[in-house]
Amino acid sequence: MTKWFPALDERRGPRYVAIADALAADISEGRLSPGTRLPTHRDLAWDLKVTVGTVSRAYAEAERRGLIYGEVGRGTYVRERTPITLPTERAAGRNFIDRAYNFPPLAEALPALSETLAEVARDEDLADLMAYRLDPGRRHHRAAAADWMAGFGVPAEAEDVVLTYGAQNAMLLAAMALAGPGATILTEELTYYGIKTIAAHLNLRVHGVALDDDGLIPDALDAACRSSGAKLLYCIPTLQNPTTSIMPEARRREIVAIAARHDLTIVEDDVYGFLPEDAPPPLAALAPERTVYIASLSKFVGPGLRLGFLRATPEAVRPITTALRACSLIAPGVLAEVGARLIERGEARRLAHWQRSEARRRQQVAARILAGQKISTQPEAFHLWLELPEPWRREMFSAEARARGVGVGSAEVFAVGRGSVPHAVRLCLQASANAAEVERALHTIAGMLGERPSNDLALV
């Protein structure tokens, strides 16, 4: 058995991850060769002054990475270099690169998430977290969510918060609770397709409101309120999806004034609100009495953490809680505990900052590769909106991009109604842990933009 002692002084993060990282480094650099027998869990724990459980988690993490293997009764050994890869890494190895979805890179969040999940699993309160609770969530979890929202200027107390299974679930609950059967809801004329899906399933009519570079046009909203009689508006003022516009504060004040005049309730989707360095105040900060505010941890911790936060007035919380019971009976328990711990420790804020920095870096790469093209974006957005040059049409471009191995989001997916749809596509930059893959996709798109469509033929 080798007397292996990992160097941990310069390594950050949870101790078990540091041990696994040190093991990976020593194997990679030849200090540990294949077949080497490693110290027992107890011996290494004694040498490092950590618990046996920490070493067990470290060895489990190293085995998951394909670095080592254990044999019952014989010990733990260094494996031949045939590492097991994560699903995201396996996907990156395939030819197709999907730029159609806004999935955040996960690598930075995984250690903190793994450690927190392990802590929750060992917690003596786990049984209570797994129990039925017919309320909008445990008060402690709702208070953590309120603190998170307060960081963005949204006034919230625990009693104002409903915990949901992600932002999409929050949108569904708001629509179920606040829009009657067959009602009309207002949205931006180009909007997140999730609200279109919800409206279709709830038999709601969707009325698109015109946009400009600053978001919703006030006069268009006023006219839509008068003509449609709608009492609910869904919108994304910060990093609008798909156009990436950020509504200026003056425009936001005009929008809430129009909403007050028409007794309009606003559902504000702010899942990207953590990205801009200096975003204007949310609509919920300007008009909390008529705004349902939606946030989520999924965009910077990971989509699999289905935890959303919905803030509303007491009058709206009651029917929204009833809708929650109809959909899932209970609010998130274990997921909410994980999210609350990440918020309280500052990990959520740290991960949000990391995603912002990574988004900024990828936007810079995109600006360089797509220089000269007509792009709408922001320095810290997860995606960009690319207007296609003549003679490209959106359907033709999307099909050709897919044929060349790159998925994009075509404009008709986001369009509301049967009006004119721009020849444009949404191109997501975050949906990969592999920066080289992002560049390869961008170069493919740039090459296409310099060509004429291969199927540019007239119909006869």
Higher pLDDT, 181 or 84: 181
Higher pLDDT, 231 or 300: 231
Same domain, 326 and 261: yes
**CATH number where 29 lies:** 1.10.10.10
Domain range enclosing 390: 90-110+348-449
CB 440 within 8 A of CB 432: no
* 431 band by pLDDT with thresholds 50, 70 and 90: low
Q: Which residue has the tokens 């949108």?
A: 171
User: Residue holding tokens 């290494």?
Assistant: 44
- Whole-angstrom CA distances from 213 to 7, 159, 216, 247, 401 are 53, 36, 9, 8, 27
The reported pTM is 0.77
What's the CA gap between 367 and 215, in Å, rounded?
Answer: 22
Position 116 in a domain: no
Domain end among 345, 375, 401: 345
Residue 255 lies in a domain: yes
CATH of the domain at 147: 3.40.640.10
Residue 3 located in a structural domain = no
> Does residue 149 sit in the same domain as residue 297?
yes
284, 315, 345 - which closes a domain? 345
Predicted confidence (pLDDT) at residue 87 exceeds the cutoff of 50: no
| 8 Å CB contact between 54 and 15 | yes
Please report, as a single letter, which amino acid is at residue 421: V
Q: Is 256 found in the same domain as 275? A: yes
Query: How many domains are contained in the chain?
Result: 3
Which range of 68-82, 128-142, 238-252 scores highest in mean pLDDT? It is 238-252
Answer yes or no: do 336 and 285 share one domain.
Answer: yes
With b for 16 or more beta-carbon neighbours within 10 A and e for fewer, the 352-382 pattern comes to bebbbebbeebbeebeebbeebebbbbebbb
Task: Indicate whether 459 belongs to any domain.
Answer: no
Tell whether 9 is covered by a domain: no
- Cα 224 to Cα 190, 206, 260: the distances in Å are 15, 11, 14
Q: For residue 277, which of 240, 246, 237, 242 has the smallest C-alpha distance?
A: 246
Q: For the segment 152-184, what is each residue's pLDDT rounded down to a tens digit?
A: 999 999 999 999 999 999 999 999 999 988 899
| 395 and 321 assigned to the same domain | no
Residue 81 pLDDT level (bands cut at 50, 70, 90): low
Whether 77 shows a pLDDT value over 90: the answer reads no
Q: In this predicted structure, what is the pLDDT of residue 91?
A: 38
Contact 271, 167 (CB under 8 A): yes
What's the rounded mean pLDDT across residues 381-394? 94
CATH number of the domain that 394 lies in? 3.90.1150.10
Q: Compare 202 and 454 and report the one with higher pLDDT.
A: 202
Same domain? 216 vs 283: yes
Neighbouring residues of 108: CB distance < 8 A, sequence distance ≥ 6: 351, 354, 355, 358
pLDDT band for 127, please (50, 70, 90 cuts): confident
pLDDT category of residue 99 using cuts at 50, 70 and 90:
confident
Name the pLDDT band for 85 (thresholds 50, 70, 90): very low
Q: Are residues 228 and 335 in the same domain?
A: yes
With beta carbons less than 8 A apart as the criterion, state whether 424 and 114 touch: no
Same domain, 51 and 40: yes
Tell me the pLDDT of the chain averaged across its residues: 88
What are the tens digits of pLDDT across the range 305-348? 899 999 999 999 999 999 999 999 899 999 999 999 999 999 99
**pLDDT band at residue 133 under the 50/70/90 scheme:** confident
Q: In the beta sheet, which residues pair with residue 269?
A: 294
> What is the Cα–Cα distance from 295 to 274, expressed in whole angstroms?
9
Please tell me the least confidently modeled range out of 126-135, 322-331, 397-406.
126-135
Q: Measure the CA–CA gap between 422 and 324, rounded to whole angstroms.
A: 37
